[in-house]
Structure 1
Amino acid sequence: MITKSFKNIPKPHKWMISSIAAFLCFLFLFPSEPVSAYRNTASTLEVGKRYDLAVNFDNLPINEFSGLEELNEVRSFTVKKGDNLAIIFKRAGLTPQDTYHVSKAGDDASKLLRMKPGQNLDLEIDKSGKLISLKYPYSTTDTLVIEHDANDNFVSKVQSKKVDTRLNYAQGEIVSSFWNAGREANLSDNQIMSLAGIFGWDIDFALGIRAGDQFYVTFEEHYIDGEFIENGNIVAAQFVNQGDSYTAVRYTDGNYYTAEGRSMRKSFLRAPVNFRYISSNFNPKRFHPIQKRVRPHNGTDYRASTGTPVVASGDGKVTHSAYNKYNGNYVFIQHPNGIVTKYLHFSKRKVKKGQRVKQGQVIGLVGSTGMSQAPHLHYEFLVAGVHRNPRTVSLPKAEPIAAKEKSKFMVLANQAMTQLDNNKRIMLSMTY
């Protein structure tokens, strides 16, 4: 057996030394030269018997094993609320200088300013405490990598995984509610809301849905290395509401159009908030529940949870963003053609007076400030100073698809609708 102590030998090399010793034993027991050359030696060895082998490790040059470096430690840190790069580096035992050099590692390094709680930061640190590299997977497909270049300076780059996009299909028929029908069709919550958003200018999803209404959807699914990652955009859809059929196709500009190229959008949204239900409709003769007297209700109350985002129903300029004891936190927006929209009872306002906003931009959060009994949005729609019912007022359409894009869109739309119809026929044949 090997009798020399390993005490003074570095741990990473012990396995190599043991292997060398074992190999030397093998040479003695099983020589590769003709047996006659070692006849005298072989005759003195017995198979199965262990023999001591004197090996002088004191003169063994350790630097011959310098290529067997220990692996650097990789430590993963989860971003907590209030964390920034400096705080995380301090937890890792790194210096403010490390923070500075990493933050100056190039344009991509600015992504570290947008870290969110729950995300991870992987730091490779050597035994001397020096930062070797950083990896920050900020999405399912993209990872920020910061490492040393040839001049030992930190540089940044983004590594992206290839995403495979496939198309899937779903359809449903409404029995009790649109939401339940979407769930039955295996659509995600976001897909259900997206579908309502696409057709929300033409269909009243609060009060206009009926049992027997149907929807058909072609949508993207994203895969990485054959593994499902997330749902993508709705590519094409059809909704049959009370016998009327509406179709929508997504174009490369991110907007939805009818199969003929007319915009699905109107100049204004019917409902500027994702609501649970309408708690009070437009009613010029409503009995006020707090003031206990008949007082016109010049808008629509959309009941929703506190903190639910409220968006601008159309492009315009903020004329009021303030608070009073009646409206609570409120925002008024002036739009073209003499139209004004009003939003009352916010828990928090997100825009300032004089600011220009775009349709769909968040302007506040649902609350119950001012004269309000429960969290909701009170929404008013005025035309030339006259209050109109925001749920029934005629809304002008947005611009159709650009003329120069029309022919390209029609090719895409025909393909999308043909695919949607084929899927409908396949599903129908499987039913019978």
Structure 2
Amino acid sequence: MHRKFVIVLFSIQLLLWCIAVGGPVYGQPSGSDTLKVTLKETEAQFLKNNLDLIIQHYSVDQAQAQIITARLFNNPDFSFANVLYNPKTKRFFDTSHDGGEYSAQLSQLIQTAGKRNKNIQLAQISAQQAQYQLFDLLRTLRYTLRNDFYKIYFQEQSARVYQEEINSLAKTLKAFQEQYAKGNIAQKEVLRIQSQLYSLQSELNDLMDGIDDTQSELKLMIRAKPSSFVLPQVDINLEGKNMVSDVPYQRLIDSANANRYDLKVARSVVDYNNINLKLQKATAIPDVTLSLAYDKQGSYIRDYSSAGIAFSLPFFNRNQGGIKQARIAVDASKVQLQSQQDQLESELANDYKGALRLENLYNSFDPKFKQDFNHLIQEVFKNYQKHNIGLLEFLDFYDSYKTNTLQLNNLQLNRISSLEQLNFATGTPFFNQ
């Protein structure tokens, strides 16, 4: 019996030693490059390398080029005609004074009712929309980037807890299996450790699948090598801070209305459709074509010259359909703007309540809880030495330690994510860490 106790005691000591020592980052693939980066460095690489942002920059340039096109005047039209063959003089392209014939005409289209200026305004609004879309894309991608950064950090902390227990239990299981083969311990103790080990390995595998997905997304955003491993360097302390409750809710609403670029896009769509309605009404007014013509001898007198004007008579087509479509587009865009405004306020209210709830929950935790809990596991070991608790009770306690550590990591991640969500909803970096 004494021998059995020594074996189990040795296994427990081995378990605690592995817990204390820890190990390298579990999710790092063998032979990969480790990128130890802060959030500021990650954002700098993102702004420099992200292909989606580069593509959207080109879209802005294209939209601005359309302004140049809209400002250009219509080119004048010139035509020239010469007799091909004169049967009387038997000459090709005869331009002689007596028998030659040729004519020329120059015409210029003049747009009326301010159509050119309205087209310029539409092009300017389109260019502004492209810029708004760039900034909104930046807002969305930066939100994803920051969330991924913190998610990897806290999930890696959780993975370490899993790996420490797995390494410890694997060595303990091996020792127990050897002692079971010698008949020193019962099979139920081996099966208990074996069952817990398999359960932990399965949970860790699911966690690592999530980390790999997040790693892949983050590396794509900053264009890091696919074989590299991003190791976030985080130094934050949110304990006891009332970051959300210190910011008035109305200030968040005002900031969202002023800085949300998707909302600015919706407003610019209303402006675009109002200008387009004016353009469609102006289209009902005919444009004018001015012309100058010369005919050597094809008219009733030699060396005939003329000046002319041409325009269509708006008896039937006065662009009735285009005007009606433009009116409908104005009304639809106003409704869309109101819908987006309502959705923004609803989402912000929900995000604010969630962030405030997480802040209160986090601040309700004793800052010394984790440190005291780590100390407690040492006391549990002493109680095991004194035969006050058994091996299974000790393993159950360590499982509770693992669960609480994971919950604290998730709570910290959820709180930071809620702050990032408020930044995203308001379009303002109120809570950037």
Instruction: Name the TM-score, length of structure 1 as normaliser.
Output: 0.18
Q: Relative contact order (alpha carbons < 8 A, sep ≥ 6): 1 or 2 greater?
A: 2
* Structure in which a larger fraction of residues adopt strand: 1
* Structure in which a larger fraction of residues adopt helix: 2
Instruction: Name the TM-score, length of structure 2 as normaliser.
Output: 0.18
Structure of larger gyration radius = 2
